[in-house]
Amino acid sequence: MRVLILLLFLLSCATTKESEKGLNYSLSPKLKTDSIMTFALIPEVDVIKREANRFISEHIKESIYNKALIELLKVPYFDIIDRKDIDKVLDEQEFSHSGFVGDYAPKVGKLLGAKTVGYFSILDVEKIGYPIGSGTVLLKIKATVGFKVLDVETGRVLYQAVATYESDEEEEAFINAAIKCVKPLQNLK
């Protein structure tokens, strides 16, 4: 019974939406869009599913960061902290070697003076074969990426999105899934 009450409470605290195929996101009522917030995007990308590690090169992680940052710059209420400052804190504090990004992201945000911090996670990747006739198979990559924005002071999740994207190219699948995660933030009022 307690679990049911807790579940109902949590569902009433956040708004969950599916705005397009392959995208689900939730907003906390604590996400303030009426004022500018300093925001740090952690350049590290968590890889949750071990099997996905063989698909994820450092180049793909860097591409996810760079392309998503372009989209985040279009979010009117985020004042983005420069990457060189983030990298400096990560190097000095040796956070990047200490496990999952979600474990240390709020600490990094605090050290940078950010109000909010965000990071990406690779949740799943699969190769899908589509028969196209006479024994020929069209191979696609389906990437599932997650994105979280956290309040640095409380650790509360302010925004969370999960998106999938299917493509012939691995890098394109990951980048476009990440961009889909960020897009709803651009249109919040």
Residues 139, 129 contacting (CB under 8 angstroms): yes
pLDDT in tens, 150-185: 999 999 999 999 999 999 998 999 999 999 999 999
| 155 vs 149: CA distance, rounded Å | 9
Q: For residue range 93-117, list pLDDT tens digits in order.
A: 766 555 677 777 888 888 888 899 9
Contacts of 154 (CB under 8 A, 6+ apart): none
Token digits for 106? 């709020």
Please tell me the pTM assigned to this model: 0.82
